[in-house]
Amino acid sequence: MRKFLVWVVSILLVPTIGFAMGRTGKRVKTTKIPLIQSVKLDPERTVVLRGAIDSVSGPSIVAQLTSLDAINDDNIFLIINSPGGSVYDGRSIITTIRSIKSPVICVIDSEAYSMAAVIAAHCNKLYIHKSASIMYHEASFSFSGTESIVKSRVDFLLKYLEDFHRETSETLNLSLNEFKTKMIKEWWMNTNQSVMAGVADVVIEKLVYNFDSSESRNYSPNTSKTIEPEWLRDIEIRM
């Protein structure tokens, strides 16, 4: 009788800052802190991500980004205040940011932790409020199956995540091992630390809201499905 296993695996999943479309050059470390007194947000070109990233918020953000991009290719502001959540739903947002023509400017107004920090890093510019913070750490996931099936899936996920790490380390001018080392015990940064490390671009003193910032614009979620193995959707990978 074949042995039935349940494995719990913790894998490093970190932000990918550089990408082929939309990014001009790598983020760099600095000893000077660029400061903007205020940022006035255009309610017609603003998307809000608050709370957990999941199967509801992920498709909603994707739909909003693509809808705004279809209107014109002006800047889109993405406000983030999130503790993180689903890796797969977060990656659908990242894929959209990389695909649309409109530059996406992320504004972290309070916190961007885990998968939320990964999304923020993929934006064309990253503004951070003076009292906000960022954190990257390892992802965790679990699934069950026979020994041979579990091994096959783990091998796939290791490669899947390794490619993600490599893009990030190259963008930050770090070796892959250096970057992984930073993530192992969680990488916490306040505003100034994030800019000096080359993660955020600019510190902002004040956000000027001309709309209800507690809610996203009301677009219908995108119902299209990501092409991926069915078993991947059964694995909950969270950050």
CATH number at residue 28: 3.90.226.10
Distance CA 141, CA 139 (A): 7
The answer to whether 136 and 234 have CB atoms below 8 angstroms apart is no
- Give per-10-residue mean pLDDT for the chain (239 aa): 35 32 50 73 92 95 97 96 90 92 95 91 91 88 84 86 75 76 89 91 82 44 39 58
Q: What is the pTM of this model?
A: 0.77
Question: What is the full DSSP assignment across 40-106?
Answer: E--GGGEEEEES-BSTTHHHHHHHHHHHHHHH--S-EEEEEEE--BBHHHHHHHHHHHHHSSS-EEE
* pLDDT value of residue 47: 96
Domain count of the fold of the chain: 1
- What pLDDT shows up at residue 29? 63
Distance (Å, rounded) from C-alpha 75 to C-alpha 77? 7
Look at residue 202 and tell me if it is in a domain. Answer: yes
Q: What is the reported pLDDT for 27?
A: 57
d(CA 158, CA 202): 34
Q: How many residues belong to the chain? A: 239
The residue segments making up the domain with residue 47 are: 14-137+188-214
